[in-house]
Amino acid sequence: MPLSRLRRLLEEERYREAQLEGERLIHAGTLTAEELAGAYKGTAMASYYRREVYAAITLGQYALAVAERTTNWELINKCHFDLGEYYLTLGDYPQAFDHLFKCLNDLHRTPHLVEVEAGTHHNLALLFRYRRQYEDAIGSHHLSLDLLRRCNNWPLLMEALRGLVYCYLALDQPNEALPYLEQLEHLLGEHPNDQVAASLLTDWAYYHQKTGDLRQSMAFCTRAMAPGLPGQDENVLSTASVIAGENALVLGRYDEAQFFSNLAMQYALGSRQSALMNRATALRRKLFELGRIRP
C-alpha cells in the first residue's frame, strides 16, 4: 500500500519523517485520487503535530479538494474534521465551526464513524467554551460523552468531563461541577492517565477557588506545579500559576501574585490557550492598577 509507511510514521509520532514521506508521495505523481488525498491529509497531520498550523491548513485544504473529487465520504468527513481542529487551534472560529458542522451534517453517510462524531461534538464544545457560550458547550460535551462511552475512548471522555467541570465553574456553579470531578477521580482509578491526573489538580484548584476555600485551592496549585509531576505540561503549569496568582491577589499577597502572574504569562504563551492568556493578562492588569507592576 502506497500510504502504509506514512501511516506507520504518524502512529510512531515521527512527524518530521512523516512530512518528508508525505511530500515524496505527493510529488511522485503515481497516486490515485483517494491516495493523493490521504497523502495530503497525513502530511497535514504531521505538520499540525509539529505546530506548523498554517501549513497543516493549506495541506488539509488540498486533501479536502482532492477527496471531494471521489465518492469516499469517510475520507471527506475526516478531512472536514481535521480542518475544523486546525482552524480551532488557529483561533479562526467561524472557519472551524463551518468545517465541524459540515462534518456532522454529512456523518449520516458514514454512521460507523462514531469516534469522529464524538470528536466533532467535543471540538464544537471547545469552540463554544472559547466563545464563552458555556450553555452550548455543556450540550455539546454531553453529546460527545454518550458517543465516547460507546467507543471506549477514555482519555477523551475524561477531557469531556473536565470540560463540563470548567463550564459549570465558569458559570459560578461549583455544586454542578462537583459530581463530574468525582466521576473523574473514579475513572482515573480504572483508567490511569498522567496528563488527566495532573490537569485534574488544577480543576480542583479552580473548584476550591470558586467555593472560597483559597487555602485548599493554593494547596492543589502547589501540587500541580511540583517539579517532575507526571503528565505536567505548559497547560497545567499556566493554569495552576494563574489560579495561584488570582488567589494571592485576593489574599493581599502582592509580591506572590506578581511572581505567579509572570509564570502564568510565560507558560500561557507556550500552551497556546487564549483563555489562559486572557486570565493571565487580566491578573497583570489588576496588579498594574494597584501599582504593583509596571506596564
Tens-digit pLDDT profile for residues 156-166: 999 999 999 99
pLDDT (tens digit per residue) in 216-227: 999 999 999 999
Query: What DSSP assignment string belongs to 88-145?
Result: HHHT-HHHHHHHHHHHHHHGGG-TT-HHHHHHHHHHHHHHHHHTT-HHHHHHHHHHHH
pLDDT in tens, 257-286: 989 988 988 888 777 677 777 888 888 888
Backbone angles phi, psi at 212, to 5 degrees: 90, 5
Res. 3: pLDDT tops 70: yes
Question: What value does the mean pLDDT take over residues 89-114?
Answer: 93
Q: How many CB atoms lie within 10 A of CB 31?
A: 17
Alpha-carbon distances of 93 from 55, 132, 136, 228, rounded to whole Å: 18, 12, 15, 35
C-alpha cell at 81: 474534521
Q: What pTM did the predictor assign?
A: 0.89
Report the pLDDT value the prediction gives residue 126, as an integer from 0 to 100. 95
Confidence of residue 295 (pLDDT cuts 50, 70, 90): low
Q: Residue 261: its pLDDT value, please?
A: 87
pLDDT at 248: 94
Mean pLDDT, residues 179-197 taken together: 95
- At residue 118 the predicted structure's pLDDT band, cuts being 50, 70 and 90, is very high
Residue 27 pLDDT more than 70? yes
Which pLDDT score is estimated for 268?
A: 81
DSSP string of the chain? -TTHHHHHHHHTT-HHHHHHHHHHHHHH----HHHHHHHHHHHHHHHHHTT-HHHHHHHHHHHHHHHTTSS-HHHHHHHHHHHHHHHHHHT-HHHHHHHHHHHHHHGGG-TT-HHHHHHHHHHHHHHHHHTT-HHHHHHHHHHHHHHHHHHT-HHHHHHHHHHHHHHHHHTT-HHHHHHHHHHHHHHHHHS--HHHHHHHHHHHHHHHHHHT-HHHHHHHHHHHT-TT-TT--HHHHHHHHHHHHHHHHHTT-HHHHHHHHHHHHHHHHHHT-HHHHHHHHHHHHHHHHTTSS--
| Residue 126 or residue 274, greater confidence | 126
- Residues 197-213 have a mean pLDDT of 97
Residue-level pLDDT at 285: 86
Q: How confident is the model at residue 294 (pLDDT cuts 50, 70, 90)?
A: low
- Mean residue pLDDT across the chain: 93
The whole-number pLDDT of residue 293 equals 66
Least confident of 98-112, 198-212, 257-271: 257-271
Interatomic CA distance for residues 217 and 239, integer angstroms: 12
**Residue listed under C-alpha cell 471547545:** 126
Query: What is the pLDDT averaged over residues 55-70?
Result: 97
